[in-house]
Amino acid sequence: MDISTRGSGGKDTPTSYGAGVDISLPISTPLSLDEWFNQHMQEADKAGLYVNPVSSKTQFANQSAFKVYHCTLGCRNDYSIKYKGQIYQIDVFVGGNDKEKLQPIMDKIVSSFKFLD
């Protein structure tokens, strides 16, 4: 599901409207999740990738993860997870006029996410 760039009438709007989940291509790394995340945040800070980020350790798909809440083109949560030697970044967004209606749906999707072997 990725409707984060669609608004009413099918016209593109900023990503502050709708709901979406984006999953990056896997990033192979010998670094631990903690090491990779610290390096990622340093690079993101230099590039100005996040606006006022708040990061925390959490669980996602029964895996240890880092979550970054930031408000760049709408507020969202970005999760970084290491699974089988690869980092996956998962961007989760819900916003706009339908946020109250869409949030419980997104919460259900996120809570049921799992890696398939």
Going from N- to C-terminal start, the domains of the chain cover: 21-94
User: What is the spatial distance between Cα 79 and Cα 19, in angstroms, rounded to a whole number?
Assistant: 16
Distance of CA 11 to the CA centre of its chain: 23
pLDDT digits over 18-44, tens only? 889 999 999 999 999 999 999 999 998
pLDDT digits over 93-116, tens only? 998 888 899 999 999 999 999 888
- 17: enclosing H helix or E strand: none
Name the pTM for this structure.
Answer: 0.80
Q: What Rg, from alpha-carbon coordinates, does the chain have?
A: 15
What is the pLDDT confidence band of residue 10, given thresholds at 50, 70 and 90? very low
> Side-chain half-sphere of 109: how many Cα atoms within 13 Å?
16
Give the model's pLDDT for residue 16.
Answer: 59
Give the model's pLDDT for residue 78.
Answer: 93
Read off the pLDDT of each residue in 80-88 and give the average, rounded to a whole number.
95
